[in-house]
Amino acid sequence: MTGDQPVLVVGGGPVGMCLALALVAQGRRVEVFEAEPRLQSDLRGAAYHPPTLELFEAWGILDEVRAAGVEVRELCYWERRTRECVARFDYRLIADDARFPFRLHCMQHVLCRIAADRLAASPLARVHLGHRFVELQQEPDHVVARFATAAGEREVVGAFLCGADGAHSAVRKRLELAFEGVSHEDRFLVLNGSFDIDADLPGLAPVNYVFDPDEWVILLKLPGFRRIVFRARPDEDEAALRSPVGVAARLHGLVGRPVAYSLINLAIYRVHERVAESFHRGRAAILGDAAHINNPAGGMALNAGLQDAADLARTIAAIDDGADPAILSGYTMRRREQSALPILARAGQNLAELRAQEAREREARNQAFRAAAADPALARLHLLRFSMLPAF
């Protein structure tokens, strides 16, 4: 029965839409169900590392994503208190390690739109907006999912169900998969806009991590604007964080003088680190933020979700070709044990480096970064790890 039934994908975010592209690339019929009446448009993830760029190529969207993005070929670490550029890394050092040896910044909602246009042109794919997943019934050779729509409930039969429905995943909850981990007290204050700071921080790269024990900062160049991410302390009032006075004070504190700026938007996020106990149950699987979330230091979460999508599409294709559905346990092994858990540790380390407290610890960190930047072999290793490439 499975071969002629579509794969049902819950969630039309970047991971769900790209899973649909990956399934179509395997010649598989797919239907995507997005709860909201329109695709997402908020300014969230934007960074894609070299292995993800190869996936975009395989899914036939690389040129469009590149055209809508900014290529990042330099990465810089700063000491906030002295404004010293501690270490600078040039992506030319990994020129022989990847087909696309750079990082690309393209907003995730633009990726969703590019994927949606491709799916609309395929006879194998359908995207249903305004369809909220509510229930799942699993049978030995198919699944039956129920969706709430403005016109009432709808039942759909599929070969598999894939939950790419984000951190609060209804699919994960329906599968009764625990989402173990921690939520931090710290929050991220994200400012998107233009900021007159270049003269104060000469040599600003497209990606900058600014070390500070109290208020570390991440500065990114995104298509058409800049993003500045500040640590927000647990005791800071949200209204004060959002106020123009609060924003002006933070920017002043960063460069030591009043800063002219114009905001596109401001967002405040809690930081969570969680991984589901398993990424599959029966003929259902979860991927992306539904399966794992980590702090954004390093820009790895969405990349990992897109890599889940590529693996899951291949696994479903193998089951279609006659493999036992039990091989979904291999998907959990590769994507949970070998990807999500190591990424969680790596993102935690990135955050620990940003906010190191003790003077001795900070000096040792800076020495290690200086030494890495000064030695081409170590610098290459740093970039490989930072780019989610194997580093031997």
Ligand X SMILES: Cc1cc2nc3c(=O)[nH]c(=O)nc-3n(C[C@H](O)[C@H](O)[C@H](O)COP(=O)(O)OP(=O)(O)OC[C@H]3O[C@@H](n4cnc5c(N)ncnc54)[C@H](O)[C@@H]3O)c2cc1C
Binding interface with ligand X (CB under 6 A): 10-16, 33-36, 40, 44-47, 108, 132-133, 164-166, 170, 190, 269, 288-289, 296, 299-303, 305
CB of 194 to ligand X, least distance (A): 18
CB-closest chain residue to ligand X: 13
Closest to ligand X by CB, 163 or 366 = 163
SS3 321: coil
Closest to ligand X by CB, 36 or 90 = 36
CB of 36 to ligand X, least distance (A): 5
Nearest partner of 243 among 294, 284, 191, judged by Cα = 191
Closest to ligand X by CB, 30 or 366 = 30
Identity of residue 12 = G
CB of 294 to ligand X, least distance (A): 9
Closest to ligand X by CB, 293 or 328 = 293
CA–CA–CA angle 117, 120, 121 (5° rounding): 90
Closest to ligand X by CB, 133 or 225 = 133
The count of residues in the chain is: 392
Closest to ligand X by CB, 13 or 325 = 13
CB of 209 to ligand X, least distance (A): 13
d(CA 12, CA 20): 9
d(CA 251, CA 229): 11
d(CA 265, CA 361): 35
CB of 256 to ligand X, least distance (A): 26
Cα–Cα distance list, 244 to 124, 247, 282 (Å)? 49, 5, 51
Q: List, in sequence order, every residue forming a beta bridge with 280; answer none if it has no partner.
A: 285
CB of 178 to ligand X, least distance (A): 18
The answer to whether 26 and 80 have CB atoms below 8 angstroms apart is no
Closest to ligand X by CB, 33 or 179 = 33
CB of 330 to ligand X, least distance (A): 21
Cα–Cα distance list, 96 to 50, 228, 246, 372, 378 (Å)? 12, 31, 45, 19, 15
User: Please, is 38 exposed, middle or buried when counting C-beta atoms within 10 Å of its C-beta (0-12, 13-18, 19+)?
Assistant: exposed
